[in-house]
Amino acid sequence: MPLAALFFFASCGGETTKNETQTETVKKNVKVEEVRLTPVDQLSTFTATVEANTVNNIAPAMGGRIRSIHVDVGSRVGKGQTVVTMDAANYSQQQTQLATLKRDYERYLELYNVGGISKQQLDQVKAQLDVAQTALNNLGENTRLTSPINGVVTVRNYDPGDMAGGQPILTIENINPVKVIINVSESFYSQVVKGMPAKVQVDALSDEVFEGKVSLIHPTLNPVSHTFPVEIEVNNSDQRLRPGMFSRVTMNFGTNDRPLVPDMAVLKQTGSNDRYVFVEKDGKAVYTLVQLGTRIEDKYEIVSGLSAGDRVIVQGNAGLIDGTEVEVVE
């Protein structure tokens, strides 16, 4: 082969090697942000349903015919207000019997005063009178059914003329205040105290925020879910909150110093819910799994995976793999 041809092939081969070397040494430009610890409120959100503060079922102590129902569903009632009147036939009979026993007792008392009967005989008549009086009082309560609370009628199961049976005639609920019962993880048991503030939002009212407070902490934990019930009381003077509304309760369990990183630095692992970032270390991108906490504006709280001083890649992280060489630019 001629010398010129050899020189040509040698030149071509040398050029290819040089280009390959240049390609191999190209580094991806990235921007990094050094991790600093920032005080972050430890917020937890729970889902629950709004409930009435008190629920009373109005029913007679014994069956009977309903004469009148003085309220309807939606009616507001006051404590002690008569809401149902039952048939009064038994009450009238008992009144007559009581009146007869009172007259008998008065005669026996006169006889006892003049020595006509013994003290034992007088006591027997007095006992019958007391029993009759108690029975009349019970019938009176069973004839005029009153509301034991201030509230609103939410259920009516009968109409006048019906015989009261196995279900209450009315249900009355006190909805000022209302309560929300949430199940809190046992890890927070020592941090929940009575009077602790909570924020309540309901979807039906466009996520409006209502201020609540812890009113009751149940003393036992569920051994399966490892949670304990906590009741949140919410003022409802305007009665906009109604039982059955879906709600979200947010509670603050203190402040911790945690890393905050820009949301664009956090990537999602394909095919799973894992989140990860790339940390620049010695000129290479290091794949790092992280656990996210609260989102604060355009940043994420990092619960685990990062430490103060780590250099997180915030730009240029698309397409990176663990160990990729990178060039940090300002």
Instruction: Render pLDDT for 231-251 as a digit per residue (tens, 0 to 9).
Output: 999 999 988 999 999 999 999
Q: How does DSSP assign 12-51, residue by residue?
A: HHHHHHHHHHHHHT--EEEEEEE--EEEEEEEEEEEEEEE
Q: Could you tell me how many residues make up the chain?
A: 330
Query: Hey, what CATH topology would domain 44-52+179-254 get?
Result: Elongation Factor Tu (Ef-tu); domain 3 (2.40.30)
* Class of the CATH-defined domain 28-41+257-328: mainly beta
**What is the DSSP annotation of 107-159?**
HHHHHHHTTSS-HHHHHHHHHHHHHHHHHHHHHHHHHEEE-SSSEEEEEE---
What are the domain boundaries of the chain? 28-41+257-328, 44-52+179-254, 60-156
Indicate the pairing of strand 197-202 with strand 170-185. unpaired
Q: Is a pLDDT exceeding 80 seen at residue 127?
A: yes
DSSP 8-class letter at 329: -
pLDDT exceeds cutoff 70 at 323? yes
Backbone angles phi, psi at 125, to 5 degrees: -65, -40
* Res. 5: pLDDT tops 60: no
CB of 50 closer than 8 Å to CB of 180: yes
Same fold, 28-41+257-328 and 44-52+179-254: no
CB 242 within 8 A of CB 174: no
pLDDT per residue over 205-239, tens digit each? Answer: 987 899 999 999 999 999 999 999 999 999 999 88
pLDDT 10s digits, 129-180: 777 777 666 666 677 889 999 999 999 999 998 988 778 999 999 999 999 9
Pairwise pLDDT comparison (296 vs 10), residue with the higher score: 296
Whether residue 85 contacts residue 68, with contact meaning beta carbons closer than 8 Å, is answered with yes
